[in-house]
Structure 1
Amino acid sequence: MMHSKPLVEVKDVSFQYPGSETRVLNGVSLTVEEGEFLAIIGGNGSGKSTLCKTLNGLIPKFYVGEFEGEVVVDGLDTSKHDVADLSKTVGYVYQDFEKQLLRPTVLDDASFVPLNYGLWDFKERGKWALEVTGLSHLANAFVWQLSGGQKHLLALAGAIAMKPKLLIVDEPVAQLDPQHASRIYDVLKKLNEEYGTTIITIEHHTEFIAKYCNKVVLMDQGEMVWKKDVRDALCSVDDLVTRQIHPPQVTMAAYHINRDGNYPITLEEAIKHFRGKVPALYEHPFQTKTDKSPILSLQNITVQYQAIHKEMKKALKNLSARFYKGDKIALVGNNGSGKSSLLKVIGGIVKPKQGTMELVTNPLPNYSPETLSSHVAFVFQNPEEMFIDDSVRKEIEYYLKARKVHDYTNQVDQILVDFDLTDLQHQDARLLSGGQQRRVSLAIGAAIKPSVIILDEPTANLDIATKNKVLSMFNRLEAHVDTIIIATHDMQLVSEWAERVLVMNDGQLIADDASDVIFRNEEILQCAGLVPPQIITLCNELHFPHCPSIESFVEYWNLAKERGA
């Protein structure tokens, strides 16, 4: 199908924010044809989001700075047209999508943009957008009643109600469980294939790129390195890895086994690629720990709250669990399963309607939340919510002073060393990068030397390099606490780090076992909306033993090959 003109033409564009000494975009040129499904990849600070903001006129109209070059979208020069005019052609779903939800009910919100343009069919457009995103059944619901995944779909509905030719989505799956993440991409695929919408996503998750996109642009330090077809792009392993971008796990496994450039990029391709090449060896069953003295014990915990029509809803239903010294626990389940309620009970933030909690053989009623917080530290998903002072050192000191810890200076010095924060100790934590902020929040949690530390989505929104740094901090955390509980959607983190996995669904604990057992239980996976990491699904399909990482898969493959030779 021939197009006389590309939909997007970026010509030699450079941009520098005021006060910055370096250009965040440096001579970028890019052509996007109508109907493409394009992923833009690159590490933090590579210029991905800045490039996309030139396409809807936010740069240079809203974010001022030194702008050079030309951006033309659907024949419109973006520097010469208002953002409002361009938004008829360019829809945009931002990473912080909740800020785009402006009206009280779902249909009102989906219809809001066409209503503002005075279009007579604004409500029909809103209904169409809800139909495409699968939210029609929630048209009359209040926005605040929606789950995180539903809110993301609603932001998407609001962005497509004008039926734009180009839709840009920044980090579509960053805060979502695997099921909701696939739903977002399925909607994007439908828009692309059925309605001809050109899609650009900014994405870290290459498994989704392999499955849904057809073109990939690689950005690095404000420059465009290349634009390639998706297969060529994801098989350019060296280009990606040197920039801290991880190709799909199956691609990396094939790359490490035989560097011939012919790698699978999807799970289906990998099963064909690897099947029958080596025999499956005997597997040693997992031995469960049998520690008789729990540090923390929950018995028949029920939590309920009042819903909008005054009926009582149960967030936790008669839940019992035990946590032992040395436990490294992942708490998983889809959005709305009760994970947050459980964490808040353990952290003393929510008092259960019924049931008991014992902390080292003392029942919960003997503790006020303040006393409990000396034994249980809660590290929030958004680190900034924990910051109340003007330097990293003072943030850590604050919690120790509040607990009247004497001679805390040496303790703070050691914590700064352990979490690689000594050089940052006099900086304001709110001005640090996302990964540095995570380390500060972990340091605050560790400083009080709690028995139990709870981490809520500690790797959300981090690029691969930053995530690896935070993962290494978990190992240091073990020296300061007895038990670590992490609530996460990151199944790779679960498989590589956790020794126990607690699976939540509809306010109940439906499984508590080792990750290899959980990831083989189809019924549990289906019920809780869990999708194992690619490498584990590949092992299951090939009848291999449980390999929690690419390294362990390659090691097993080489051993099996050696024995089978």
Structure 2
Amino acid sequence: MNAHRNDRQQEGPLTAAPIIELQEVNFQYPGAEVMALSHIHLTVQPGEFIAIAGTNGSGKSTLCKCLNGLIPNYYVGDLSGYIQVAGLIAENESVSSLSRKVAYVFQDFENQLVRPTVYDEACFAPLNYGFADYRERAARALAMLGLEPLKEQWIWQLSGGQKHLTALAGALSLDPDIIIVDEPVAQLDPYHARLIYDKLKMLNEQYGKTIIVIEHHTEFIADYCSKVVLMDSGTIRWVKPVQEALSAVEELEALHILPPQVTLAVRETEANRQQSPLYPITIPQAVDYYRAKLPRNPDHTIFDKAQTEDNSPSIPVAAAAVPLVHFDNVSYGYKTITRTLHPVLRGIDLSIHEGDRIALVGNNGAGKSTLLKLISGIRRPNEGSLSVCGHLTKHTSPETLSDYVSYIYQNPEEMFIEDTVRKDVEYFLKARSTEDYRPFVDEVLERLRLTPLQDRDGRLLSGGQQRRATLAIGLAMQPTVMLLDEPTASLDASSRREMTAMLNQLQGRVKATIIATHDMQLVAEWANRVIVMHNGQVALDTDQQSLFGHTAVLELAGLIAPQIAQLSLALDLRPPSLSVDHFAARIHSLMGQHYTREEAASIGTGSH
């Protein structure tokens, strides 16, 4: 890297350089056959709000780890090229010195929380750097993020959103010039996801911080970022202003990146498409666009009636049917450090029947994961009774319940205990001494497109591949009830589509599926029943079409409807559309391209 460094030093003082500059940067992990980064050139000006987009494995995280010294000082490999960050030449610096300039909040942010309380965590970095004013730095960081009321809280008592902000405060206490956040919304409910982005926007606009986010969700990019860096196979394909970047719909879709739903809607309903149009990319822009296009006070009653009758799923619960899972006044809590009981679930009465495809939604800390663990037998109720496939869980071991229930963890790495995917899929069957299980394992692997990966270690697969592998592990258990915790978290658009398709394939394989999720688009596309949880209780039990009409419950539970549903409601199209295809059909109808009731209902089954 010396040649590049010397060239830059001859041009003038480093203080005149952009805050980030990369020239001809290449990086290859040990043993890898291809370059993780290839011929990277990137310039970032102070105060920019940048999104780095791309599919899983495109090099986004690798690029950002070069900026704070984790590559090559921690993640070793062959690195070449010129990297300048906040006036420092990266090859001359350590992770410690670069971290004073570059704050990094990881995707698995809970793993970077190392102190017992919020205040201790905020003090940790400046204290270890030897700053005499470490207390003042911690207090200032907490104040900037509105965390003063939580300063004495134990870390393990915080919600996911509060933990994410605490991790950000710990990095912010060093007063860095640059803040990098990897997948800000991956593990958060929609409300806290917006809160994190609002805080980043405030740090950018009021304190002049340069913000870089690694993001799959283009609706957040549209609302908050000013520029997009698009990565593909370890290269930077282009850098564009956000409006131009997200209007490149065909190119993004070809790279399996899902543009905002409102942008797709305009693309589908645009009568006279220009060669390179700039589409609306936010809900307000789309509302203005359609209000200028649609006739005044349109009469769309018949169309909405068709949708309600033909396209709104109902909850398939037979009154006389024996439930697969039944909660009878179930409560659960755990003892805190002060020996008092902290309630997690309160008085749950709930029945789950054959045919249910349940989306379990609510804000972080609402009790969703705990409810799944109770069904699986990992946890047992403190009060009330819970029966699963005819067995009372308080008298039944988790091993026995696993004959009926598969529980797929939120973190897929926790599902891998063997050194190959095939061994992990076979594990349960071998433990149960199942005869001639190999043909069945072959079928499961083939069904989930894992046959080429069956001899690889599951922990070394990409995020999407790991999700497929964990689903195979669950399917191989031949369960009656399948439980999945955040199955689409951290997946790119292509992997999310794959996961939705695989969930649809569970029909006929399992009798009921329950997913705890923050992915409201998954809720709209897959579920036939939605259970909203808040503060350890069931706040609403409905179908996905009716869900988005309960605005008070959505607000209470920190939920935000998918963009296309919000756009429908803003245009007074009720009930709201749950897919881009259905929305486009309604718009065409209102603009004079009429459909029969049957055509409208069939068009409404699209899944953009």
The two structures share one fold, judged by TM-score above 0.5: yes
Structure 2 counterpart of 1:155:
167
Of 289-298 and 155-164, more deviation after overlay is shown by 289-298
Query: In 1, Cα distance between the equivalents of 2:423 and 2:261?
Result: 41
**Percent identity over paired residues:** 50
Query: In 2, Cα distance between the equivalents of 1:6 and 1:59?
Result: 21
Contact 1:419 1:476 in 2 (8 A): no
Within 5 Å, which residues of 2 pair with 1:352-431? 352-360=381-389, 363-364=392-393, 367-431=396-460
Query: In 1, Cα distance between the equivalents of 2:390 and 2:26?
Result: 63
Q: What amino acid sits opposite 1:549 in the alignment?
A: S
Structure 2 counterpart of 1:507:
536
Query: How far did residue 195 of structure 1 move?
Result: 0.7
Structure 1 residues 340 and 290, CA, compared in 2 at 3 Å: closer, same or farther?
closer
Of 256-265 and 57-66, more deviation after overlay is shown by 57-66
Contact 1:56 1:90 in 2 (8 A): yes
1:94 aligns with 2:76: no
Query: How far did residue 333 of structure 1 move?
Result: 0.5
Q: Select which of 316, 336, 339 maps to 1:307.
A: 336
Query: How far did residue 425 of structure 1 move?
Result: 2.5
4+ aligned runs moved over 6 Å, structure 1: none
Within 5 Å, which residues of 2 pair with 1:209-224? 209-224=221-236
Structure 1 residues 70 and 145, CA, compared in 2 at 3 Å: closer, same or farther?
same
Within 5 Å, which residues of 2 pair with 1:127-142? 127-142=139-154
Within 5 Å, which residues of 2 pair with 1:9-24? 9-24=21-36
Within 5 Å, which residues of 2 pair with 1:215-364? 215-258=227-270, 259-260=273-274, 261-275=277-291, 277=294, 279=298, 280=300, 281-283=303-305, 284-285=308-309, 286=312, 287-292=314-319, 293=321, 294-360=323-389, 363-364=392-393
Contact 1:503 1:512 in 2 (8 A): yes
Q: Select which of 480, 498, 517 maps to 2:546.
A: 517
Query: In 1, Cα distance between the equivalents of 2:177 and 2:387?
Result: 58
Contact 2:73 2:95 in 1 (8 A): yes
Structure 1 residues 148 and 80, CA, compared in 2 at 3 Å: closer, same or farther?
same
Query: In 1, Cα distance between the equivalents of 2:450 and 2:39?
Result: 35
1:125 aligns with 2:137: yes
Q: Select which of 510, 522, 536 maps to 1:481.
A: 510
Q: CA offsets per residue over residues 6-49 of structure 1, 9 Å max, x none?
A: 21111121222222232221111111111111111111222211
Query: In 2, Cα distance between the equivalents of 1:230 and 1:152?
Result: 25
Structure 2 counterpart of 1:434:
463
Within 5 Å, which residues of 2 pair with 1:185-224? 185-224=197-236
Contact 2:56 2:464 in 1 (8 A): no
Unaligned runs of 5+ residues in structure 1 are: none
Query: In 2, Cα distance between the equivalents of 1:49 and 1:290?
Result: 45
1:109 aligns with 2:121: yes
Structure 1 residues 18 and 405, CA, compared in 2 at 3 Å: closer, same or farther?
closer
Query: How far did residue 393 of structure 1 move?
Result: 2.3
Q: CA offsets per residue over residues 185-236 of structure 1, 9 Å max, x none?
A: 1111111111111111111111111111111111111221221111111111
Q: What amino acid sits opposite 1:277 in the alignment?
A: L
Q: CA offsets per residue over residues 282-303 of structure 1, 9 Å max, x none?
A: 3225444341312222211111
SS in 1 for 2:304: coil
SS in 2 for 1:450: coil
Query: How far did residue 319 of structure 1 move?
Result: 0.7
Query: How far did residue 169 of structure 1 move?
Result: 1.2
Query: How far did residue 254 of structure 1 move?
Result: 0.6
Contact 2:403 2:477 in 1 (8 A): yes
Query: In 1, Cα distance between the equivalents of 2:76 and 2:315?
Result: 58
Query: In 1, Cα distance between the equivalents of 2:61 and 2:389?
Result: 48
Contact 1:348 1:372 in 2 (8 A): yes
Structure 2 counterpart of 1:551:
581
TM-score after normalising by structure 2: 0.89
Of 246-255 and 43-52, more deviation after overlay is shown by 43-52
1:526 aligns with 2:538: no
Structure 1 residues 282 and 180, CA, compared in 2 at 3 Å: closer, same or farther?
closer
Unaligned runs of 5+ residues in structure 2 are: 1-14, 596-608
Contact 1:40 1:48 in 2 (8 A): yes
Structure 2 counterpart of 1:31:
43
Query: How far did residue 546 of structure 1 move?
Result: 3.0
